[in-house]
Amino acid sequence: MADKITLTVPGALRYRALAVRVVSEAARLVSGSAQRDEQDLLADDVRDPFDVAVVSAFMEIFNNVAIHAYERDPTGHMEITITPGACELVIEISDHGRPFDPTLVPSLPTDWDAHSLPEGGMGLHIARTMLDDVTYEPGPPNRWRLTKRFSTATEPRAVRT
Amino acid sequence: MLLPFDVEKSHDATRLIVRGSLDINTAPALAEEIDRIIEAKPGKVDVDLSPLDLIDSSGVAALVKLYKGIRSSGGNIAIKGARDQPLAIFKLLRMDKVFDL
């Protein structure tokens, strides 16, 4: 399996698509999924459940760092280390922004109707539910560690913080 | 930036087609259009998500705002065509039943 992939990007939202591209390709290394259109390698083509889980979770954590840790200040950086394994993908993200306490993020209700649909607070829930393990250590540097194992059911799992 | 949506309006209906990636970078532009759509109080809104490749929680929030806004003004809204990653997100959030996806 491939060696570690490291990427340093400014902690600003305009760099998110670039980071997502790298992460989605790393997910393909583990899942073995094929590009839908090999003539359009830049398409946002994420279909395999493993790739979907990894990319969806990463997007939310990137948002979290850029908006909450760096408070939209584009001068900070994010160091992203991706480790593709035979049966899992591990993504570590470190930043030097403001730490936060994930335990203070309220859980989403388990059920809702047309009137009570949530309009916020979904990001961390998506990351937690899509992945097998999410850990966060406040810094500096703050460290996220996201783990998705291959051939496991995509079920809600506990989050260690 | 290429806007990730098109809007087609007829007498009493509006069709919104969302494509590409609806995320924290592109959702604000859609949210502005959503404000205009809600303000016009159309009787019917059809949202076509079939060209949509990626969505994040910001994109979901924009669509929820549209859904609530149209329904609260007595209109009907149908959200259709979600596939792949966007459909997985709606299912994870248990919105697929509400949106009838």
pLDDT of residue A161: 43
| C-alpha to C-alpha distance for A25 and A35, rounded to whole angstroms | 10
- Phi/psi of residue A125, each to 5°? -60, -40
**Does position A53 have pLDDT exceeding 70, yes or no?**
yes
Contact across the interface for B54 and A59, Cβ inside 8 Å? yes
Going by C-beta distance under 8 Å and a sequence separation of 6 or more, which residues neighbour residue A145? A90, A91, A92, A93, A133, A134, A135, A136
pTM of the model: 0.89
Contact across the interface for B89 and A46, Cβ inside 8 Å? no
| C-alpha to C-alpha distance for A147 and B37, rounded to whole angstroms | 40
A16 contacts in chain B (CB < 8 Å): 23-25
**Does position A134 have pLDDT exceeding 90, yes or no?**
yes
| C-alpha to C-alpha distance for A59 and A126, rounded to whole angstroms | 10
Q: How confident is the model at residue A126 (pLDDT cuts 50, 70, 90)?
A: very high
Q: What is the mean pLDDT of residues A119-136?
A: 94
Bridge partners of A6?
A81
Domain covering A5-149, topology = Heat Shock Protein 90 (3.30.565)
Q: A72: alpha, beta or left, given left = phi > 0 and alpha = psi -120 to 50? A: left
Q: Does A129 or B11 have the greater pLDDT score?
A: A129
Q: What is the mean pLDDT of residues A35-43?
A: 63
Q: How confident is the model at residue A43 (pLDDT cuts 50, 70, 90)?
A: low
A38-49: b (≥16 Cβ within 10 Å) or e: eeeeeebbbebb
To test the contact with chain A by mutation, choose from B2, B63, B65, B92 the residue with the greatest count of A C-beta atoms within 10 A, namely B92
To test the contact with chain A by mutation, choose from B22, B23, B95 the residue with the greatest count of A C-beta atoms within 10 A, namely B23
Q: What is the mean pLDDT of residues A4-11?
A: 96
> Across all residues in chain A, what is the average pLDDT?
87
Q: How confident is the model at residue A155 (pLDDT cuts 50, 70, 90)?
A: very low
**Does position A22 have pLDDT exceeding 80, yes or no?**
yes
Share of chain B above pLDDT 90, in %: 82
A14 contacts in chain B (CB < 8 Å): 25
| C-alpha to C-alpha distance for A145 and A133, rounded to whole angstroms | 8
Going by C-beta distance under 8 Å and a sequence separation of 6 or more, which residues neighbour residue B75? B41, B42, B43, B44, B45
B21 contacts in chain A (CB < 8 Å): 17, 44
Q: Any idea where the domains of chain A sit in the sequence?
A: 5-149
Q: How confident is the model at residue A41 (pLDDT cuts 50, 70, 90)?
A: low
Q: Please, what are the domains in chain B?
A: 5-99 (3.30.750.24)
DSSP string of A67-86, one letter each residue: IIISTT-TT-EEEEEEEE-S
**Does position A157 have pLDDT exceeding 50, yes or no?**
no
